[in-house]
Structure formats: structure tokens, C-alpha cells
Structure 1
Amino acid sequence: MSKVLKDPHLFTPIKIRECTFKNRMGVPPMVLFEGKEGVPQDIHLVQYGRYALDGYGFIIYESTAIESIGRISPGCCGIWSDDFIPKYKRITDFVHQQDCKIGIQLAHAGRKGSSALPSKAVRKGGLLPSEGGWEVVGPTSEKYQPDWSNTRELTVAELAQYPKKFADCATRAIKCGFDFIEVHCAHGYLLNQFLSPLTNKRTDGYGGSLDNRMKLIKEVITEVRKVMPNNMPLFVRLSCEDLAKGGHTMKDTIDIVKAIKPLGVDLINCSSAGILPEQVIPDRPHFQWDYAKQIKEACNIMTACVGQINTTEEANGIIEKKEADVVLIGRGALRNSFNPRRAAVDIGAPIPAYFEGISWATAIPKHSKY
């Protein structure tokens, strides 16, 4: 039987700059691998539309490449062309009709790009150009794994172009109708590759000390913030720990957050790992929750908590104890096993039904398993 909670903290609206989320439950960026030449398809409208109908306060659209070679796989979406704008606008318009906010995660896969689609792998490693792949780039020429595609080291002149590429895509995202922007600096992708000492072994101004390794992401964030309206929130996703020997730790991450917060960052989306295949994931389900709490307390910045949040009690408790400002529901959203409508029944909070005029929380009996 559902347990009605006394204080429905999950359903307290939150305002970030001038963007108000109706509740504290969001969907993190999860790639569908269904893009065609970077363009979103009908399945993206259906999937993200379903999240909006499920009552989430906000959605972060999946990792979206700033250039063609920045995709994780041939099935990943991009936003490097104005031609894509109508496709995204169709999605954001529908989400907004459901009183839901939607942001976009701007990303570059770096040396982890050109990988096979999960359902259509033709070889163990990354796709070769002859298999529909492309040349990948990174801080150095080191491959992600020995059997993956060769990596080309980016020159200083090329690196100087990346802040503008991110900013141009941010401008495009605004035209698409997205409510906020997230810069992807996690999971072993390009910006994370520059941050981590495990992958950034450059000897120029972009490598060496943590200050140097932060140089590219600071430049990217600065340029992205410049093109954004002042009332529009900016998120950054970080791998708070590499979880690999010699990688960066929470101490490094706190230093990073303190450095980027003054550049106009409003919220840190706290995740982990992805930098090396040899990572060691802790054998406990909620180890990432503490990242959000530590960063929130140490840096006085809003945070998002992620990682196997599967019950109303867990999600509400995180917000109630101020361990994070919002919670992100990943697997639960994919499986439709835990969402705001289900939480509303548990917590005794009203939430609109799919159809006008009936409150979902009162329309479903408390004993219902829905």
C-alpha cells in the first residue's frame, strides 16, 4: 500500500534564474541511438513527449553533438546545423504544452566517438571509417581502448575554435525553444578528457596542472554563457570522480566547480566515471548521492542528484534533507517504473491527469499499485 508522506518536498517548485520547474523531478540525458545523420526522429518526439506526460518538472535532452565527429555513434543526435531546428522545435513545443521544461546537453564525444550502435555492433571496438565511422580527436593521440579507432591530437589552433562551436550550438538551441543548456563535461567525453590527468597528458597551456586542464571547459562555458539570455539557466555535468587509479577526486571536482561557478553556471549535474575502461565502480547503489551533497555544501551551488533513485521516499528524502536541489530519474523513467505521477499517489500531492479536469492523485485509489 502507498504511504502518504506528510511533506511533499518533491513537488515544491524551484526557480533557477527566471526558469521555474513545477517540481523537483527531472529526466537526465539518455541517448536513444535513433538519430539519422544527427537529426532527431519521430521516436524522440514520442519518448520525450512521454516524459512530459508523466509529469516531470524538466527533461534534459540527450547528449547532442556540436559537430558531426563529436557524436558518440552514427545514431546520435547533433545540433551543428540550422536545418535541424524545426525537428527540435517540434519536440520542445509539445513538451511545453504539457507544462514541462526541457533543456539540451551540448557535447562532444572526443576519442570515445565513432562507436558502434549498441544493437548493431560490427566489431568490438569503435567503428572504422570503412564501417561508417570517422576520425576521432582528443587531447592526445591515445586511444580509448587498443582496438578502437586511432585518435588524432587536437592542435592549439583547433582548440581555439571549440568554444565558438559550443556557443553557436547554444544559440541554435535557444532558437529550438530549449529552456536551459547543459554542457557535458563527464563520462569520459572530450571536455572530461581534458579535465582528467589520466587522459590529458599535454605539455602546452591545455595540459599539466589542474588550472591548465580546466582551460578548455572554462573557455567553453564563458562563450556559451555569453550567447545565452541572462534569465536562462546553465547546467554543467561533471564526473565527480574518475573512479580509476590516478584520476581526479572530489577535491579536484570542488576546485573545478569553484572555478566555473563565477562564469555563470547555475547547477552541477553530479555523475561519475567513464574516463577509462579500467574504472572501478563502488559496490553500493547510491554512492553518487553524496557527490551532490558535498558540492552543494562546499561550493554553495545548486546540484542534481542521480543514481538508482527508485522510490518516493528516497527522492523526497534527498530534497527534504537538502542533499540536492533536484533529483534525476534515469532507469525509472526508461522503464516507466517510477515517475512523478506515481510519486504523487504515494506522497498525496495533486498532479494533473493526462486529460483535463481530473487530478491523478485523487483519481487513483491509494491501494492502487500504479
Structure 2
Amino acid sequence: MSILFKSIKFKNLILENRVIIAPMCQYSSENGELSYWHEQQWASYALSGAGLCIIEATAIQPEGRISYADLGIWNDTQCKMMQTLLSKIKKISPTPFAIQLAHAGRKASCDAPWGERNGQFTPDEKNGWQTIAPSAISFQPNGHPPISLSTIGIKKVISDFVAAAQRSVLAGFDLIELHAAHGYLLHQFLSPLSNQRTDEYGGSFENRIRLTLEIFKEIKKVVPKNYPIGVRISATDWVNGGWDLRSSIELSKILEQIGVAYIHVTSGGLHKDQKIDIHPEYQVPFANEIKKAINVPVIAVGLITHPEQAERILQAKQADAIGIARGILYDPRWSWHAAVKLNQTIAIAPQYFRFQPRGSNQIFKKYAS
């Protein structure tokens, strides 16, 4: 049997297959709230046949948004809107939905990718605000510098992550992923390139990972027992002297000890001088090395576009699940087509049964009740 279509367990959550819809920002919110775009997008995800959908990076503070158009879960109105939409989604599909909780740190206060500003707004510009970071070091050399977080500010970040996690459970999400990758706030604390603090949150490896661990532990206290909490990390900064694979392995080991559900392995995003060798499966070797060191599931991503690639990676035991992001946006039925290619069955909504490809083996089965 294809491993891609075998079930996998993240704590108490069982996935029907190992196709994971990885988070992709949609820049379609106002005041952090869901829009009609999200209703359509989430419904498409729900009907895709994927084993799990992780929605886009969702800010735990207004200042934590990448852009003014980012989704948020820092207030009860946002939570209620998500609860309402998820209740509708669950009526048409049993696909579990997860939320990625995030804070952009010094990479916040930006325009949408298609906006005219093409970059970061200053605090005195419309749609801009003052950013925060572990140290007052800008992402871009000519950027407006962030404010270095005080100890009180750090405690506020922790408490807001915890509150966002509580709202996530209340909204009906089946899993929480902490975003500690792509150069955003938690990653900024991890990397010595962006973290030049001299207090208990900077300097040594143990100090730089402190914030991520504290947030994880505090969230674990307020969610149900065995509720899955995963962590997404950038395995390397792709810059000499930065966060690297060895550090990622050590962090993953510690996260395993304190109960992480999985490690989601990506890379880069922290420093303008990164030199990324981009090619198909370019991030899979990082996932492979981390998988060798831990016993919790590892999700691999990075230009994995074809079902045969995904299956080969799993057969080689380089990862335990496959994250597809842009590929799912391009082809919302990627999982269906993967089942055809790999001669497997996949659970779909019965409304689609009549569209089984002629001449093919039976690939569709009804959702389990």
C-alpha cells in the first residue's frame, strides 16, 4: 500500500492520509477577520481529500500580522467567526483543520504581496505600525528598526499566544501549530543573527530557544489532554553564523521531550543574505536528518509537486508526512490525482462519486461516519 495514503496519528488526532495542506497566507482579511474569500478557500480545502489542512499564519496580536490584511485570533469576534465557519465546514467534510499561530516580529507592518507599497510600512504611514523583535535590528538595512522587546513585552507575547490557543480550541480547530520559522518572531529569537540580547532570552542556545519552549509549555497547560501541538521550524538560515541544522535537531529533541506532536521542517526567511539552493525537494534532507534524531512525526515540504515524489520520500523514510502548499492552490484536487497516480482509494464527498475517471480503478470511497 502507498504510504502517502496510510493513516498517521498526531497525539489524539488520526489523519486518513499523509497529505498535509501547509499554511499559505491569503492577505484577505480586514481587522484580522474572516472574509468571503476564506469561506470559499476553506471549503475548497475541506473537499480536497487531504489528511489535514493547516490554515494560514494567524496573528496573536494586531502588531504580529505580516500585513494589515492578515488573519488574526486576538479577540473573541474573530474566534466566533472561525467557530461559525468551521461548524459549516465540518458538515461537508471530516478533514481536520489546524491553525498556525504566529507573530511576525520585525517582518510585520508590510503591504500585501500585490500591493503598491512593495515592502514594509513605517509606523506613521497608513497600514503601518511599530514592529517588535528580540533586538532592534531591521530585516532590511533601510527598514524602520523594530523595538527590542522588554521582559514585560515578552510576557505579553506569551500570554497572547496562550489566549490565542484557548480561542483556537474554542473555535473548533483540531490542532495548533506554532510558527517558529521563516524569520518571524519566534525564529528571530532562535537565531543569533537577529537575537543579540544579553538577558535570559539571548546569547546561548538554551537562552535563544527559551521563548519558543515557554510558549509551547504554557499552551500545553490550557488545551485538552493529548491535544496536538506541532511546531514549524526553519532548519537553517542559509547564512553562515546563523541558526543551523544542528541547532534544529537539538531543539526538536527538546520539543519531543515536552510533548510536541510533530516537527514541520522548512528553511530560510530570516536574513536578506540567505543563499538558498532551490531545486525539487531541496528541504527534504533537513527533514531527513531531524527524523533520524527524534521519534515524533516529521513533515517535509519544499518543491514536492508530484505524487511520485511524495511517495518516494515516505518510502525512503525521509519524512512521515508531506506538506503541500502552492501545489494545492494550483490544483485543489491534488490529493485525488495523487490517489489515481498511486492506484489508491481516497475518501471524498458522495456528491462527487459520479465523476470517477472512466476506465480507472475505484479510487473514491465515502467519508467515514
TM-score in same-fold range (> 0.5): yes
Gaps of 5+ in 2: 362-369
Any residues of structure 2 matched to 1:48-197 within 5 Å, and which? 48-96=42-90, 97-122=92-117, 124-197=119-192
- Structure 1 CA distance, aligned partners of 2:149 and 2:306? 44
**Structure 1 pair 105/353, CA: closer, same or farther in 2 (3 Å)?**
closer
Counterpart residue number, 1:335? 330
**Quick one: which of 210, 213, 221 aligns to 1:218?**
213
TM-score, length basis structure 2: 0.93
Moved more, 130-139 or 191-200: 130-139
Change (3 A) 1:101 1:213: same
For structure 1, which segment, 119-128 or 138-147, has the greater mean C-alpha deviation from structure 2 after superposition?
119-128
Write out per-residue CA displacement over residues 320-345 of structure 1, whole angstroms, 9 at most, x where no aligned residue. Answer: 22221110111110111761111111
Q: Contact between 1:202 and 1:208, CA under 8 Å: does it hold in 2?
A: yes
Give the secondary structure class of the aligned counterpart of 1:164: helix
| CA distance in 2: counterparts of 1:72 and 1:282, whole angstroms | 25
SS class of match (2:346): coil
How far does residue 123 in structure 1 lie from its aligned partner after superposition? 5.2
The 8 Å contact of residues 59 and 103 in structure 1, kept in 2 or not, is answered as yes
Structure 2 counterpart SS, 1:274: coil
What's the RMSD between the two structures over aligned residues? 1.8
Q: Return the alpha-carbon distance in structure 1 between the equivalents of residues 285 and 190 of structure 2.
A: 21
| 3-state DSSP of counterpart to 1:129 | coil
Where does 1:14-33 land on structure 2 (aligned, <5 Å)?
Answer: 14-33=8-27
Asked if 2 retains the 8 angstrom alpha-carbon contact of 1:116 and 1:127, the reply is no
Distance 1:352 1:363, change over 3 A: farther
- Residue 4 of structure 1 corresponds to which residue in structure 2? none
Q: CA deviation at 1:48?
A: 1.8
Which AA in structure 1 matches 2:203?
G
Please give the per-residue CA displacement for 1:159-208, whole angstroms capped at 9, x wherever unaligned: 12222211111000001100000000000000000000000001111110
In structure 1, what is the Cα distance between the partners aligned to 2:255 and 2:354? 42
Question: Equivalent residue for 2:202?
Answer: 207
1:242 aligns with 2:249: no
**1:160 is paired with a residue of what secondary structure?**
helix
Deviates more, 1:242-251 or 1:99-108: 242-251
Segment drifting more, 194-203 vs 334-343:
334-343
SS in 2 for 1:11: coil
Kindly report which structure 2 residues correspond to 1:275-290, keeping only aligned pairs within 5 A, or say none: 275-290=270-285
Structure 1 letter corresponding to 2:33: V
CA contact (8 A) 1:163 1:221 kept: no
Q: 1:364 to 1:311 in 2, by over 3 A?
A: farther
**C-alpha distance in structure 1 between counterparts of 2:118 and 2:347, whole Å:** 47
How far apart, in 2, do the equivalents of 1:127 and 1:366 lie? Answer: 56
Structure 1 CA distance for aligned equivalents of residues 108 and 281 of structure 2: 28
Counterpart of 1:3 in structure 2 is none
Does the C-alpha gap of structure 1 residues 124 and 189 become closer, same or farther in structure 2, counting only changes over 3 Å? Answer: closer
Structure 2 match to 1:35: 29
Determine what percentage of the aligned residue pairs are the same residue.
34
Alignment partner, residue 364 of structure 2: none
Equivalents in 2 of 1:124, 1:105: separation in Å?
23
2-structure distance, mates of 1:353, 1:64: 28
TM-score (norm 1): 0.93
Unaligned runs of 5+ in 1: 1-6
CA distance in 1: counterparts of 2:313 and 2:226, whole angstroms: 27
Cα distance in 1 for partners of 2:331, 2:308 equals 17
Displacement of 1:246 after TM fit?
1.2
Say if 2:261 is the partner of 1:266: yes
Separation in 1, partners of 2:226, 2:255 = 18
Shift in CA distance, 271/359, structure 1 to aligned 2, threshold 3 Å: farther
Q: Does 2:245 match 1:255?
A: no
How much does 1:227 deviate?
Answer: 0.9
Q: Does the 8 Å CA contact 2:108/2:120 hold for their aligned counterparts?
A: no
SS at match of 2:254: helix
Check the 8 A contact 1:225/1:263 in 2, yes or no. Answer: no
Q: Match of 1:291? A: 286
Aligned-partner SS, 1:131:
coil
How many residue pairs get matched? 360
Kindly provide the amino acid, as one letter, of the partner of residue 19 in structure 1: L
SS for the counterpart of 2:166 is helix
Q: Pick one of 2, 25, 36 that aligns with 1:8.
A: 2
Q: For residue 120 of structure 1, report the CA deviation from its aligned partner.
A: 1.4
Q: Matches of 1:42 and 1:288 in 2, distance apart?
A: 34
